[in-house]
Amino acid sequence: MDDMMFRMMELKSKGFYCSQIMLQLALEAQDKENPDLIRAMAGLAFGVGIGEVCGALTGGACILSLYAGKGTDEDEEHFRLMSMLHELGDWFRETYGGQYGGISCDAISEDGSLRNERCGAVVAATYQKVLEILIQNDFDLMEGR
């Protein structure tokens, strides 16, 4: 088990949800803390509470936006943000949509009955894909905006 998986399991054991875990890892890579952001990410858990789009996908989209999105009046959105989001969404749909019959939390976890067996692997793979997309687009994972 690598350090990332160990850290994910540690955060899960402390009660954090998939989207929170992903953002926490991204912030730690930048040597930052933002409890308000992590708290807000709980709103994406369990498909926004109604079993819709998987929190690993929405959490991954938030990480891409953390690096490339607009955050202040003076900021400009990175010109590659939408293409990176599209790449992540396409990959997620191709990887999990066919395998589980959809990209919703309910489809992937079979309405929660297989959450423990499936979700950790989905979160880890999605986090790795997000890192890959960022690196391919010349983002330094240790630097934020």
Q: Could you tell me where the beta strands, DSSP code E, fall in 1-145?
A: none
- Confidence band, pLDDT 50/70/90 cuts, at residue 17: very high
Residue 7's pLDDT is what? 95
Which pLDDT tens digit goes with each residue over 92-125?
999 999 999 999 988 988 876 677 778 889 999 9
Residue 1's pLDDT is what? 61
Q: Tell me: pLDDT of 145 over 80.
A: no
Residue 16's pLDDT is what? 96
Which CB contacts under 8 angstroms, 24+ apart, belong to 111-116?
111/51
Would you state the structure tokens that stand for residue 34, as one six-digit string? 């933002």
Evaluate whether 130 touches 60 at the Cβ level (below 8 Å).
yes
Where are the chain's structural domains?
3-136
pTM equals: 0.93
Which pLDDT tens digit goes with each residue over 38-92?
999 999 998 898 889 999 999 999 999 999 999 999 999 999 999 999 999 999 9
Residue 113's pLDDT is what? 66
The Cα–Cα gap between 134 and 137 comes to 5
For the chain, what percent of residues have pLDDT higher than 90? Answer: 79
Would you state the structure tokens that stand for residue 111, as one six-digit string? 């309405």
Residue 33's pLDDT is what? 96
Half-sphere exposure of 106 (CA within 13 A, CB side): 6
